[in-house]
Structures are given as C-alpha cells and as structure tokens.
Amino acid sequence: MKGNAHGLRSATQGLQRDLDGLAYRLIRSARKTVALQVGREGIVVRAPLRMPVAGIEAFVASHRDWIQRKLDARQQVSERTRQALVDGLRIQVLGQPVRIRLSGAGRGASWGVDEHGGAVLRLPGPAPERQLERALRARALAWFEGRVEEYCLRLDVRPPAVRLGSARTRWGSCSQRSGIRLHWKLVLLAVDLAEYVVAHEVAHLKEMNHSPRFWAWVETLCPAWRDLRARLRREGAQLPEFLPPQGGEP
C-alpha cells in the first residue's frame, strides 16, 4: 500500500509485517529515523512516513542479532509452559491425541495403538524427553515433506529439500540454496496452523519477499492465512517444554 492512507493508518494503529519469520509491527509517523523496540507487545519498528518498505526490511534484517538477544532475554524471564513427562500423559500430534507410555524396554521410541485403538507413543530409556523429541522430529519431517510436495505441485514449482529447525523466533524459512526449513514443534499445534506455515514458506519459492504478490500466493494456498497467522502468534507461545520425569536425567 502507498500514499497518505497508508501513512495515516500505520501511524495510528500500526501494520503487522513479517520478515522471514520475524513478525513485527510497523508504525509510520512524521519522524526522520527508524527505531526498533522489543517489549511486552513484541517487536515494534517506527519509521518515517515515506521510507520504502525495502529499506525498512533491510534495517530490521541488519539488526536481527540484536533483536534475537532481546527476545532471548525476555524468554528467559517469562513464564514458560513446562510439562513433565509422566506415564499416561496425553499430547496432540498433528491434531491427533497421543498417549505417552514410559517403558524401560526397547532401544528407541515406537508408535502404536492401545486396546481402545488410540494412538500411543512408547518412550524407552532413561531420557524419555530426548526420545520424544526424536520421535516428533521424525513424524514432523515426513509430514512436512508431503505437504511441501503438494503445495509445490499446486504452484507448479519444483519441491526443494525440506529440513527441520528449532529457532525460538522462526517457524520456518526458505532459501533458494538450502530449501525450506520448518520448526519441528509445529506438529504440536493444530494442523491448520502447521499448514499455514508450510504454505507461507512454499510461497517464497515464487516471491522471496513479503510483497503483495507474495501474500497473493499465500492466499492461493491458504485463503484463511490472516486468521491463522494471528492464532499462530497466540497458540505458538503456549507450546510446552517437556521436562524429564521426576528423578530422571536433566
């Protein structure tokens, strides 16, 4: 958007933007310099009314390390959802309820069903939280690869390599050189939220930016992306950090 309407709206309410997974609120006003703020409301960028979006994104990108340190500092002092692994714990994996069973037998995690036909994930060994992460990563990668392939087919682009990530502030990234990287914990969210992130990254294969044309490609794959993006910010912040059972390994 360009013109006075854009400046007036941004100056009063701010405009939500995203730079390679780094969400921030852009507020334009009659100022001469760009300013960054990381606080309770998230990342806020204050910029002059007529400064091009490309210049603002370059400014944010050049301060990514500083932003990351600020976010990490806030993360350390904020309360996190901590969940101890106990036998019988129920979690959601790609929208499906899964019961955790702790067992000393076996050499690795195994998926199965219980006597009622419900999904079960058995975690052997002295460090079940590590077994859980490995099992979820494997499930995530297989699902991501399938969704990326389908979305690429719909956009008529060649499917790239798909890898897993674990960055605290990025759900995904896309590079022409290394392919698409997606956070493994997305499998703990609702399926439509995970699909939005996949669609977002696949759309970058058409547009390596966040221009209106990029968002048009996102909408082609995921018409409800605006609502899903807002939900992702809320629900993604509540993802649990799994802790070892009491008396287990740290």
CB 205 within 8 A of CB 160: yes
Round to whole Å and give the CA distance between 16 and 72.
21
Residue 47: which region, alpha, beta or left (left: phi > 0; alpha: psi -120 to 50)?
beta
For the CA atoms of 199, 90, 141, 81, what is the dihedral angle to 10 degrees?
A: 70
Round to whole Å and give the CA distance between 122 and 112.
8
- Where do the domains of the chain lie, and which CATH numbers do they carry? 4-77 (no CATH), 83-241 (3.30.2010.10)
pLDDT category of residue 8 using cuts at 50, 70 and 90: very low
Q: What is the pLDDT of residues 218-245, one digit of tens each?
A: 999 999 999 999 999 888 888 888 888 7
36 or 246, which is more confident? 36
**Per-residue pLDDT for 211 more than 70?**
yes
Say what the pTM is: 0.67
